[in-house]
Amino acid sequence: MAEARELTYIGAVAEATKTVLQEQDNAFVAGEDVAGAGGVFGSYRGILEEFGDRRIVDTPISEEGIIGLGVGAAATGLRPIVDIMFMDFMGECMDEIANQMAKMRYMFGGSAKLPITIITMSGGGINMAAQHSQSLEAWICHLPGLKVVAPSTPYDVKGLIISAARDDNPVFVVLNKLSLRNRGDVPEASYEIPVGEAKVVREGGDVTIVTYSRMVGEAIAAADKLAESGIDAEILDLRSLQPMDTAAIVASVKKTQHVVVVHEAVRFGGLGGEIAAQIQEEAFDYLDAPIARVGAPFSPVPFSPVLEQAYIPNAERIVEEVTKLLGVA
Amino acid sequence: MDIGIIANPASGKDIRRLTAQASVFDNQEKSAIVRRCLAGIQALAPRACIHFFPDTHNIVSAALARAELDSLPLAMELTGTSEDSTQAAKRMPRLDALISLGGDGTNRAIAKAELDVPLIALSTGTNNAFPTLCEATSAGMATALIAARKIPLESIAPKTKAIHLRFASGEEDLALIDVVGTVDRFMGTRALLEPRNWRFAILSVADPSKVGMTAVGGLAHPVTANDEMGLHLVFSGQLSDTTRTAEVLAPVAPGIVKRVQLEEIHHLPCGETIRLRGVTMLAFDGERERIINAQEDIEIWVARDGPRRVDIAACLRYRSRFNEQQQVQVKSYAF
Amino acid sequence: MDLNNETLLDIHLRMVRIRTFETEAGKMAEAGKIPGALHLYVGQEAVAGGIMAHLSNDDWITSTHRGHGHLIAKGGEFGKMFAELYGRATGYCKGKGGSMHISNMQLGMLGANGIVGAGPPIAVGAAFSIKYRNAPNVAVTFFGDGASNEGSFHEAANMAALYKLPVLFVCENNGYGEYTAQANHQAIVDVADRAAGYGMPGVVVDGMDAIAVYEATAAAIERAKEGLGPSLLECKTYRFFDHVGVRGMGLSYRTDDELAEWQKRDPILIFEVRLAELGVLSEAQAKEIHEKVLADVKEGIEFAEASPMPNPDSLLEDVYA
């Protein structure tokens, strides 16, 4: 692989998008504030200057219109990258996501192809309160026809966006707001990270922490802490949520016999429940303890920094849960 | 005092918004026009009773909701066609004044009822020749004055001309501004779309300051509302243009200026009848309306027996000159 | 505008094909042969017929829950359509879509749609695609008076006008949003009035008159192809059958008199009368066409009934590309 240099998480979005636009003449970007402003998070900085307003299009604040634009353009031969600024805004466009984008191919008996990449932003931690901080990936993972990826590092951001854009299906790339300034090595060349492949980011033998997105960082911090007490945690970064790499989860469980599933989303009805169910279906006999789950409490994301900190799962809570699980508390 | 209002909900929405740049009048605006008009009436004739046709779009009834005037809807079944305006006019009680809201077609439909009532014709669009495009509040005030019989009708609301047609069957029809014979086969969207299909036009008024057929005639040879004649134009159609007598660059539709070739232009004095044939469609006041047999002779003549159209500006000027309540003293500067 | 006899007969055939297909489909549904719900297009044929006569397979349309007519007018084959309605493997959607999602990408038909108002944003996307590729085509989105109250319509209209996209917004105003009369679901009477708010022209067209629809469509397409952007055509029409099925659920929400009034202006009937007057199509010739189309429809039904059911193993196919 060509030379890597350090990029921020958000810088990797811009670089991946540029790569896609260079590689595919039919690809274009559309969304709110993406062109002139370069994206409110800076995701698309420099793209208008390099590619012009044919390839990157500012839209009105019309999420249903934006997703519809993506569906119609994709069905008729383009490869749209559409941006939904905050994942919370999916409420505005859920019909076009759930009833159109997800199902069109199936309803049409396979005759339609919808190569759409939807880039959106999840997570709290920046005091944006209840309507700009949610982690709603479970909503879209529940819809057959969609794929969902949630990168944790700048490297994964670039690789997953490129893969998403090359995929002939709608793929949601769920980014995380608090990770935007995280830095990491990113190769200049174009590369893919296959959709549906998890990655062991830390090997260990005592417990598996299954997680994704920003919680990978918290899991690593937790593992460092646990190591101090002699607990050797393995961390599996799912990267893809739909399809999910069940095989990788099972393999790790077989190795450690203990699992903690961690996500920032509300615990009840979150992906953790699905992951736990899959583990008990595929690897029940290997489990030495019940599967533990760490997620946000059943409440909207609060505004006050104090409340928000109490709300969002972190390394400490992971440590607590693992310790409890292993019975070493 | 009885004042009638006939508002055509269909005006201002035809295909000329696509083929040309015709003005758009939504029904909210039409209702607002009526409301303004009622305010003008109420100021001068608070005891007037408004008779109206309950149009499909509730234009008048919505406006009346805010007025303090008495009102009576006409009991009639609606068809949603121009026939509604004709029927409404026929069913009106004895009126002191009638307000129309629409275009040339609306006023033609009203004219078919042959009422001898002063007509305050308010335009809903820029592409009309018969009605007046003016502020409705002032028009309402003029209506009240007319209805109070304070205005000499002969000078302020003279009879307009109308174009009459008699068909082989003996049936008759009329138009207020123009009749165009074309070789179109369908009424379709009704607008006159294909100049190459035009064969002749009979105009009661040829006004170069308007748009459409009246402007085509008016730019070739103006005929005013006061002239005791009409105009007969013969178009070259798809035929060779070598015999043409005139070519006029005319606004054939709002925002569209085209060269129109004329084979012949004739004066048509009031009362003189001409016989024409060879067309399959007749358009009245701008709308394809009647399919006919090309072999059929049509008798056409112009007569001064159209509606009494109120000159709204003249009416209000008259009032200011003969203000009964008080004479306003106007002083002159000494220069 | 090319209104030669060939075009007239073409429009006529499209309308007769819709009427015959829908009437027979209604019968099959009442006979219990077609599962699920059918929303039939009878009465509105002039809209699909007058518009589709202008379109090629490279022009895209989005349809509604009342979508069979649009697909037929766009060139849909009876056999594959009936097979889809019957839920057979040989249907346009392999039996996975049914009546409410019937579609054909080759014909430029982006699907009937079970969600009221979902089509306009998709058509805007198709028009974006046309403009992006600089193709000489248009997208047409059909929707009803009811759908014009959905936010999706408004977002799409705004975006189409903003980007000056070659898209026609065709409102088939049949006076009812499902079972609710227009007067009870919106404060306006002419949906065309909504166009001005988005910066596009809106016109009211007699939706029972195929030639009126044809002419208005020609003008709207010309505008679109000149780069002037979208137009809204409101076609005033009426469905002769119920919201669902032929006689529906027997809900009393409209009167027989009202239906009878509209039936006097049956779009096929009035067109045939004029075509006969013009000597373009005699009564006998028209009858022949109806008979031929009915035979084709019956053949389509036979094809469907003889077609295999989908293999349950195909259940998970086509979820993903």
Helix axes B104-111, B83-91, angle to 10 degrees: 40
Specify whether A25 is located in the same domain as A67. Answer: yes
Specify whether A37 is located in the same domain as A167. Answer: yes
CB-CB contact of C91 with C115 (8 Å): no
CB-CB contact of B302 with B229 (8 Å): yes
Is A179 a residue whose pLDDT tops 50? Answer: yes
Token pair recorded at residue B183: 């070789």
Nearest to C122 among A71, A109, A169 (CB): A71
Is C158 a residue whose pLDDT tops 70? Answer: yes
Domain C-terminal end among A186, A213, A239: A186
The pLDDT, as a whole number, for residue C217 is 98
Interface touch C219/B291, C-beta < 8 Å: no
Please, which pLDDT band fits residue B12 given cuts at 50, 70 and 90? confident
Specify whether A41 is located in the same domain as A84. Answer: yes
Instruction: Please name the residue of chain B whose CA is at the shortest distance from the CA of residue C201.
Output: B17
Q: Are strands B49-52 and B70-73 parallel, antiparallel or unpaired?
A: parallel
Higher pLDDT, C320 or B81: C320
Q: What is the distance between the alpha carbons of residues A192 and A117, in angstroms, rounded to a whole number?
A: 14
The pLDDT, as a whole number, for residue A254 is 97
Token pair recorded at residue B174: 């009329």
Domain-embedded: residue A306: yes
Specify whether A178 is located in the same domain as A58. Answer: yes
Q: Which domain holds residue A159?
A: 7-186
Specify whether A271 is located in the same domain as A154. Answer: no
Instruction: Sketch the domain layout of chain C as residue ranges.
Output: 5-171+211-311
Average pLDDT of the residues of chain C: 96
Domain C-terminal end among A127, A151, A186: A186
Domain-embedded: residue A194: no
* Angle, CA A153 vertex, CA A261 and CA A85 arms, to 5°: 90
Specify whether A166 is located in the same domain as A83. Answer: yes
**Model confidence pLDDT, tens digit, residues B124-181:** 877 899 999 999 999 999 999 999 998 999 999 999 999 999 999 999 999 999 999 9
- Tell me whether A110 touches chain C (CB under 8 Å): yes
Give the mean pLDDT of A315-329.
Answer: 92
Interface touch C202/B17, C-beta < 8 Å: yes
Instruction: Please name the residue of chain C whose CA is at the shortest distance from the CA of residue B56.
Output: C189
Smallest Cα distance from A75 to chain C, Å: 7
Domain-embedded: residue A192: no
Interface touch C205/B189, C-beta < 8 Å: yes
Q: What is the distance between the alpha carbons of residues A176 and A160, in angstroms, rounded to a whole number?
A: 14
Give the mean pLDDT of A218-243.
Answer: 98
Question: For every residue of B56-119, which 3-state class applies, written as one string?
Answer: CCCHHHHHHCCCCCEEEECCCCCCCCCHHHHHHHHHCCCCCEEEEEECHHHHHHHHCCCCCCEE
Nearest to A107 among C111, C155, C320 (CB): C111
Q: pLDDT > 90: what percent of chain C?
A: 97
As beta bridge partners, residue A233 has: A207
CB-CB contact of C281 with C272 (8 Å): yes
CB-CB contact of A309 with A261 (8 Å): no
Q: What is the distance between the alpha carbons of residues B32 and B6, in angstroms, rounded to a whole number?
A: 14
CA dist list (Å): B335 to A259, B328, B329, B330, B332: 103, 22, 19, 16, 9
Q: Are strands B281-284 and B178-182 parallel, antiparallel or unpaired?
A: antiparallel
Based on the structure, what is the number of domains in chain A? 2
Is B243 a residue whose pLDDT tops 70? Answer: no
Domain-embedded: residue A275: yes
Domain-embedded: residue A191: no
Q: What is the distance between the alpha carbons of residues B161 and B228, in angstroms, rounded to a whole number?
A: 8
DSSP conformational letter for A177? G
The pLDDT, as a whole number, for residue B326 is 62
Choose, out of A101, A108, A114, the residue to mutate when testing the contact with C (most C CBs < 10 Å): A108
**Model confidence pLDDT, tens digit, residues B220-233:** 999 999 999 999 99
In sequence order, the 6+-apart residues with CB closer than 8 A to the CB of C289 are C12, C13, C16, C281
Q: What is the distance between the alpha carbons of residues A175 and A158, in angstroms, rounded to a whole number?
A: 11
* Angle, CA A290 vertex, CA A287 and CA A295 arms, to 5°: 125
Specify whether A167 is located in the same domain as A225. Answer: no
Average pLDDT of the residues of chain B: 91
Q: A with B: 3 or more CB pairs under 8 Å? A: no
Q: Which of A189, A197, A264 is nearest to A236 (CA)?
A: A197
Average pLDDT of the residues of chain A: 97
Instruction: Please name the residue of chain B whose CA is at the shortest distance from the CA of residue C258.
Output: B79
Neighboring chain C residues of B80 at a CB cutoff of 8 Å: 236
Specify whether A166 is located in the same domain as A211. Answer: no
Smallest Cα distance from C122 to chain A, Å: 4
Q: Are strands A183-187 and A147-149 parallel, antiparallel or unpaired?
A: unpaired
CATH superfamily placement of domain C5-171+211-311? Thiamin diphosphate (ThDP)-binding fold, Pyr/PP domains (3.40.50.970)
The pLDDT, as a whole number, for residue A169 is 98
Domain-embedded: residue A1: no
Is B186 a residue whose pLDDT tops 70? Answer: yes
Specify whether A165 is located in the same domain as A39. Answer: yes
Which contiguous run of DSSP H or E holds residue B321? helix B312-321
Q: What share of chain B is helix, strand, coil (3-state, %, to 5)?
A: 25, 30, 45
Choose, out of C138, C155, C169, C315, the residue to mutate when testing the contact with A (most A CBs < 10 Å): C155
CB-CB contact of B291 with C277 (8 Å): yes
Q: pLDDT > 70: what percent of chain B?
A: 95
**Model confidence pLDDT, tens digit, residues C52-98:** 999 999 999 999 999 999 999 999 999 999 999 999 999 999 999 99
Neighbours of chain C (3+ CB pairs under 8 A): A, B
Q: pLDDT > 90: what percent of chain A?
A: 98
CB-CB contact of B24 with C202 (8 Å): yes
**Model confidence pLDDT, tens digit, residues C208-267:** 999 999 999 999 999 999 999 999 999 999 999 999 999 877 888 999 999 999 999 999
* Angle, CA A30 vertex, CA A24 and CA A32 arms, to 5°: 155
Buried b (16+ CB within 10 A) or exposed e, A124-156: bbeebbeebbbbbbbbbbebebbbbbbbbbbbb
Choose, out of B30, B186, B190, B196, the residue to mutate when testing the contact with C (most C CBs < 10 Å): B186
**Structural domains of chain B, ranges and CATH numbers in brackets:** 2-157 (3.40.50), 162-303 (2.60.200.30)
Lowest mean pLDDT among A124-133, B170-179, B253-262: B253-262
DSSP conformational letter for B159? B
Q: What is the distance between the alpha carbons of residues A269 and A265, in angstroms, rounded to a whole number?
A: 9
Nearest to B13 among C190, C211, C220 (CB): C190
Domain-embedded: residue A2: no
Domain with A100 in it: what CATH number?
3.40.50.970
Is A198 a residue whose pLDDT tops 80? Answer: yes
Interface confidence, given as ipTM, is 0.96
**Model confidence pLDDT, tens digit, residues C8-26:** 999 999 999 999 999 999 9
CA dist list (Å): B8 to B5, B11, B121, C175, C286: 10, 6, 12, 19, 37
CB-CB contact of C74 with C109 (8 Å): yes
Q: What DSSP string runs through A55-124?
A: TEEE--S-HHHHHHHHHHHHHTT-EEEEEESSGGGGGGTHIIIIIIITTHHHHTTT------EEEEEE--
Token pair recorded at residue C213: 């629809």
Give the mean pLDDT of A68-77.
Answer: 98
Q: What is the distance between the alpha carbons of residues A104 and A68, in angstroms, rounded to a whole number?
A: 12
H helices of chain A, in order, are 9-23, 47-51, 63-75, 94, 104-107, 137-141, 154-166, 215-228, 246-256, 271-283, 305-311, 315-326
Specify whether A113 is located in the same domain as A165. Answer: yes
Q: What DSSP string runs through C100-132?
A: GG--BTTTTB----SSTT-HHHHHHHHHHHHHH
- As a residue count, chain C comes to 321
CB-CB contact of A88 with A136 (8 Å): yes
A132 is catalytic: yes
CB-CB contact of A5 with A188 (8 Å): yes
Nearest to A106 among C62, C96, C105 (CB): C96
Range 78-107 of A in CB contact (< 8 A) with C: 78, 80, 95-96, 99-100, 104-107
Specify whether A260 is located in the same domain as A211. Answer: yes
My answer on whether omega of the bond before A194 falls inside 30° of 0, hence cis, is: no
Give the mean pLDDT of B246-263.
Answer: 90
Neighboring chain B residues of C219 at a CB cutoff of 8 Å: 15, 18-19
Smallest Cα distance from C147 to chain B, Å: 20
Is B14 a residue whose pLDDT tops 50? Answer: yes
Domain C-terminal end among A157, A186, A215: A186
Neighboring chain B residues of C211 at a CB cutoff of 8 Å: 186-188
Is B241 a residue whose pLDDT tops 50? Answer: no
Q: Is C241 helix (H, G, I), strand (E, B) or coil?
A: coil
